[in-house]
Structure 1
Amino acid sequence: MIHLWEYDSRRIHGVHMPQMMSDLEKIGNEGWELIMVKDDIDDEGTVTAIFKRQKAEVISL
């Protein structure tokens, strides 16, 4: 049995820690796991965060 993953990228606040933690908590409650934050902070203080979560389907071998 092989588990499949889906991936997503979202812009989150990268400077304001309370806002970042709030954003991450909301995304985590959707089942997403943070796997990477890119070093691409913009003028508004946001960064690209990459997430993954397990798909409901599996492949049997």
Structure 2
Amino acid sequence: MNVWEYDIKALRYSDLSKTKEDLNNLGIEGWELIKFADEMDENGVIRAVFKRPVDYVDSAF
């Protein structure tokens, strides 16, 4: 059985290249995108929900 760690992070969404950069960096840290929030704020930032296996955290440190 997998045990998951969850986090909600703010991402730059108004610029596709910056969004991809943010997502790639989070992927390197073991995070998997679950869902974007429905709305972007006035600064072009959107919230997103991520998960990663708890054992990934244990093995990274």
TM-score, length of structure 1 as denominator length: 0.85
Structure 2: 5+ residue stretches without partners: 56-61
Superposition misfits of 4+ residues, deviation over 2 angstroms: none
Q: Which runs of 5+ in 1 are unaligned?
A: 57-61
Q: Does residue 13 of structure 2 align to residue 14 of structure 1?
A: yes
Instruction: State the 1:4 CA deviation.
Output: 0.4
Paired position in structure 2 for 1:3: 2
The whole-number CA distance in structure 2 between the counterparts of 1:36 and 1:54 is: 17
Bigger Rg, which one: 1
Question: Which has a greater percent of strand?
Answer: 1
* Identity in percent: 36
RMSD: 0.7
TM-fit CA distance, 1:16:
0.6
Higher relative contact order (CA 8 A, sep 6+): 1
Measure, in 1, the Cα distance between the counterparts of 2:2 and 2:18. Answer: 32
Higher helix share: 2
The 5-angstrom pairing of residues 25-36 of structure 1 reads 25-36=24-35
